[in-house]
Homo-oligomer: A and B are copies of this chain.
Amino acid sequence: MGTRKQIVDAANRLFYQQGYERTSFASIAEAVGISRGNFYYHFKTKDEILEAVLQARLGDTRAMLAGWTEAAATPLERVFRFVDIVVTNRGDIELYGCPVGTLTSELAKLGHPSRAQAVGIFGVFRDWLGEQFKELGHSANADDLALQVLAFSQGVATLSNAFGDRDYVERDVRRLKTRLMSLDT
């Protein structure tokens, strides 16, 4: 694997685990196993790494959703895959929260120019969820339903990170699924 991609991968993980502001070039370089000097051959500024990380996340997200679109037969099953994230990734979420929500929030506080790109990842989920609800026959309020499901995931992720209450997370996931099933008529 190329050094550049290794840097982006390490930065991606560290930005998630420690936050963007906290993560230093030194720690990324150490994680990759290169010197700080070599680092600057690949990226001139910290902002450049962030942009590359956001591009990578955007691509990963699109690929994941495309995979779900193919693997799951019905739109409701696809939405369930999304909802299940908070259970599937509970370990990481308990420790570091939602990768999209926490980064978006941090960049908002920093007034960072790449904030819009981070919000764009939310947008990809939002659009994809909206598509599923359209296919379910809820064209009129597809986007509204998408936002509700997105908000659910963010709320549960934040509480999961705060309290680490797995029973609650599973209860709420089950509850949302039941509500969503009533949309499938």
Contacts and interface: CB of A to CB of B under 8 A. Distances in A.
A96 to B, nearest CB: 6
Nearest to A101: B158
A41 B17 CA distance: 34
Interface residues of A, number: 38
Interface string A82-114: 000000000000011100011011101110000
A161 interface: yes
Interface in A149-170: 150-156, 158-159, 161-163, 165, 168
A163 B97 contact: no
A165 B19 CA distance: 26
A171 interface: yes
Copies in the complex: 2
A61 to B, nearest CB: 14
Contacts of A104: 158, 161-162
A19 B103 CA distance: 12
Interface of A: 17-19, 21-22, 95-97, 101-102, 104-106, 108-110, 119, 122, 144, 147-148, 150-156, 158-159, 161-163, 165, 168, 171-172, 175
20 contacts: A18-B110, A19-B106, A19-B109, A96-B109, A97-B108, A101-B158, A104-B158, A105-B105, A105-B161, A108-B161, A108-B162, A119-B162, A122-B162, A122-B163, A147-B159, A150-B155, A151-B158, A152-B155, A154-B154, A158-B158
Which 8 interchain pairs have the tightest Cβ spacing?
A: A155-B155, A151-B155, A154-B158, A154-B155, A19-B109, A21-B21, A97-B105, A119-B162
